[in-house]
Amino acid sequence: MLNNPIEFWISRVGQHRRAHNPGQGQNLTKSRNLRRPWSREEEERLISLLCDGATADEIGERLGRTRQSVYARIQRFQRQRGRASRTSGKFFLQLPVV
């Protein structure tokens, strides 16, 4: 029996997490390995839907992505504007200038 109430609470939380997430222990975050990389076709479709005026929610539904992943990809396009890949030398896909 634990005398300190904080230690008792921490031990109970750990037991609860392990019971509901067998094999995962204390780790409740999503693994980065479960995330699916964007294909060139998906990026081109995202740009065309964006140019057609679709919202991030609509784009996400059509591409099977979350709204947040759509926002993140758009931000990446903005950061890569005018840059080429260091490994292939090819220019990154660019958002059209409006």
Tokens 């950061």 belong to 79
pLDDT of residue 95: 73
Query: pLDDT truncated to tens, each residue of the chain (98 aa)?
Result: 556 545 554 555 555 444 555 554 444 455 555 688 999 999 999 999 998 999 999 999 999 999 999 999 989 888 888 888 788 888 877 777 65
pLDDT of residue 90: 80
* CB contact set of 65 (below 8 Å; sequence gap of 6+): 42, 59
User: pTM (2 decimals)?
Assistant: 0.58
pLDDT of residue 58: 95
| 43 in Cβ contact with 51 (< 8 Å) | no
